[in-house]
Structure 1
């Protein structure tokens, strides 16, 4: 069977499963590179002709091209998903990716935000106009709910309830996150100023809007977050949606006494091992706080 034909069938399978447009684009790009490599460097066009050695050679090429270990691991997950599907569909007798080694990703301790830094980034925006209020609400929601950038941008007004938010996450998987009283106070002001600013104009269904009433672009959201960091004087740290997500996770683990299973659901992780990575990013001070709050003797004194 021609690899090209099976890849095309697999992409229709992914589309039917409801994968996001971004995921489908990434998959197509990766499979195109793999297909070209196999054809040009290994003279392979048939699915059955691909071996473990060919895939290992593909990874070596990626390494020589300077691709970082994390990127190679992410790339190979897409390849592994394809061959797993081929095995399930009985196009192949086994999954040849099982014996392909990927580089180890070095564990890094993320230099995350402190509570005071997050508070500063929320407070640097005022309620003087629509954009200032919107930006304050975005930063507050990132910190208090741990949403991804795509989830903030795609958030619909109808899904922001009184005490909860229905989030459409990765792979179109829905989950519920909760609105704290502190966040609710900011959102109430945002909604009031938003209504006054746009009056009776036709608006996008998105909860957070640009100044003309359309959804916020990826670049615009990134600029809002960078502006918060600049105004608050944050230095030596990556000011991004992921760092806010990291802050939320670590705060839940150290201050909120939330177990890792509950946190995994709140973050929208499909695999708990992804959530457990946040445990590895906690610094010594955060681990100390967690240890003291979990101390059996300290808790005995409270009873």
Structure 2
């Protein structure tokens, strides 16, 4: 079978699974590079002719171009996913990527956001201007519910109810997160100003968070408002992004006593191991506090 034909079939398989535009863009880019390499550098056009040696050589070219280990591993996952699908479809007997050696990714301990920083970022926006209260509501929702930037941007008005939010995450997987009274207070203010702001303006769609023109908010806009908030409060020396609020939500939830399996469901992770990575950012002081609260001897007085 021609590799090019199988890659096209796999692309439609991914589209049928509702992969995000960003994921599909990354896949198309990677498979285009892989196809070009196999055809021009290895003289291979048939799927059955691809070996682990060919793919190992492909990975080597990535290293020679100076790509970081994390980037190479991420790219390799895309390639492995394609060949795994080929095995599942019985186009191949085994996945040639299983024998390919990948570089080790050094573990980087993330410096998470503190509660004071999160509160300051929220409070850096006022409650009087539409865009200001919108930005405050977005930061509050990310911190209190652990939503991704693309999930924030994609929320519909009908998805945000009195006490919970219906979220459509990666692969269009549906899950439920819950609205605390503290978050609800901010959302009520946001909804009131939103209604006033768009009273005499055109609202082009039913997204919950809207740009000032009445159009859907982009993930880039969500990223930019987080950067703006971090600048307003003078956060330096650590990475600040929408994703860091998911780390904050995960750490705070664990500190409050939630189990990792429930947390995994709230975050929309398909694998608990992904959730556990978030918890590596627990500071020593936080671990000490959690250990103290769960100490058998310290809890004797409660028994």
Residue aligning to 1:28: 28
C-alpha separation between the residues in 1 aligned to 2:168 and 2:183? 20
More deviation, 186-195/40-49:
40-49
Q: Which residue of 2 aligns with 1:12?
A: 12
Matched, 1:223 2:224: yes
Partners in 2 of 1:260 and 1:67 — Cα distance? 33
Q: How far apart in 2 are the matches of 1:282 and 1:205?
A: 38
How many positions carry a matched residue from both structures?
Answer: 302
Which residue number in structure 1 is paired with residue 284 of structure 2? 284
Q: Which residue of the partner structure matches residue 159 of structure 2? A: 159
| SS at 2:107 equivalent | coil
Task: Deviation per CA, 1:139-191: give whole Å up to 9, x if none.
Answer: 11111111111011111111001010001101110110111110000000000
Segment drifting more, 185-194 vs 202-211: 202-211
Instruction: Report the equivalent of 2:251.
Output: 250
Note the aligned Cα RMSD (angstroms).
1.2
TM-score normalised to the size of structure 1? 0.96
Equivalent-residue separation in structure 2 for 1:15 and 1:218 (angstroms): 20
1:149 maps to 2:149 = yes
Residue aligned with 2:208, SS = coil
Deviation at 1:302, TM superposition (A): 2.8
| Distance (whole Å) between structure 2 residues aligned to residue 253 and residue 102 of structure 1 | 32
Post-superposition offset of 1:64: 1.5
Q: 1:25-67, CA deviations, whole angstroms, 9 ceiling, x for partnerless residues?
A: 2111110000111112111111111100111111111112121
| Kept after mapping to 1: 8 A contact 2:198/2:214 | yes
Q: Within 1, Cα distance between the matches of 2:151 and 2:294?
A: 33
TM-score (norm 2): 0.96
Residue 200 of structure 1, CA deviation: 5.3
Take 1:196 and 1:97, find their aligned partners in 2: how far apart are those partners?
A: 56
SS at match of 2:175: strand
Q: Is contact 2:226-2:240 (8 Å) kept?
A: yes
Please list, as runs of the form range in 1=range in 2, the aligned pairs for 1:1-303 lying within 5 A after superposition.
1-199=1-199, 201-203=201-203, 204-254=205-255, 256-303=256-303
Q: Distance in 2 between matches of 1:270 and 1:97?
A: 23
After superposing on structure 2, the runs of 4+ consecutive aligned residues of structure 1 that deviate more than 4 Å are none
Gaps of 5+ in 2: none
Q: Deviations over 1:2-37 (max 9, x none)?
A: 100111111111112222222222111110000111
Instruction: Compare 263-272 and 216-225 and name the one that shifted more.
Output: 216-225
Contact 1:109 1:282 in 2 (8 A): no
Unaligned runs of 5+ in 1: none
Q: Distance in 2 between matches of 1:295 and 1:58?
A: 52
Distance in structure 2 (CA, Å) of the matches to 1:131 and 1:18: 31
Q: Retained in 1: the 8 A contact 2:247–2:279?
A: no
| Secondary structure at 1:297 match in 2 | coil
Task: Judge conservation of contact 1:59–1:72 (CA < 8 Å) in 2.
Answer: yes
